[in-house]
Amino acid sequence: MALLDFLFGKKSKLAAIEKMTASDLEREQLRLEAQQDAIIGKVKTLEKRKRAALVEGAKKKSDLERRAMAVRYKQFDGEASDYVSQATLVSKQIRVIGRVCQMKRRESLLKQEGLWSLISSVDPAEVEQFMIDMRTRALQGDREASRLLEVLEEPATSAYEEQDDDIKNILEAMEAIGETEATDTEIEQVEKKFLETKEEDEEA
């Protein structure tokens, strides 16, 4: 079963949460997590190849050889960017499947409290927007939305922007720790400059 087609493809409108099973969702989540790990491994390999091409190019005396290493570096960077894009999509899919699975595990309780009707026909591909809408309704005093969030252990005051800021701060801390292991500052500066230039080009 192409579950992701239901979550993110043309068939998604036919796959209301009511029709899904927690076991299928859990299996799909495990599969996606394995796929995510494989993609991350490929990115790490390409980053090592980029570094090797940069170091090798710096050692070359001829402009032709240096240019060849620069082309190789750019090729590896492009491949890494493609995998990063794939990893971003897979992360979104994991997040959505995890959310739907959470709803399915609490299906009995939600039905008992008369809250299941709120989510039973939600398009899985739009579940994140649905949760944002529920938070908005809860903050406006909607008791039904507040109770739904409470059952799903989702604080009404939380927001994706706040979560993103938290993730950003964690990543910055990780990066700061990682910098202490750097052994070649010049290479780090070259890579940083390359990334800055790349970002400027993407924004242009």
> Does 198 map to a domain?
no
Domain that holds residue 124: 107-162
Say if residues 187 and 59 touch (Cβ distance below 8 Å): no
Q: How many domains does the chain have?
A: 2
Please check whether residue 121 lies inside any domain of the structure: yes
Q: Give the other-Cβ count within 10 Å of 39's Cβ.
A: 20
Rg (CA), the chain: 23
pLDDT digits (tens, 9 = 90+) for 158-200: 444 445 555 565 555 456 545 555 456 655 665 666 666 666 6
157, part of any domain = yes
How many angstroms from the chain centroid is the CA of residue 69?
31
What mean pLDDT is predicted for residues 77-105?
A: 91
| CA atoms of 103 and 201, how far apart (whole Å) | 42
Q: Which residues contact 66 (CB under 8 A, 6 or more apart)?
A: 57, 60
71 and 139 in a single domain? The answer is no
Query: Do 21 and 96 share a structural domain?
Result: yes
Q: Is residue 119 one of the residues assigned to a domain?
A: yes
pTM: 0.66
Give the confidence band of 57 by pLDDT, cuts at 50, 70, 90: confident
Task: Give a yes or no: residue 58 inside a domain.
Answer: yes
> Which single residue is written with the structure tokens 């994140």?
128
d(CA 184, CA 199) in angstroms, rounded, equals: 23
Asked if residue 175 is part of any domain, the answer here is no
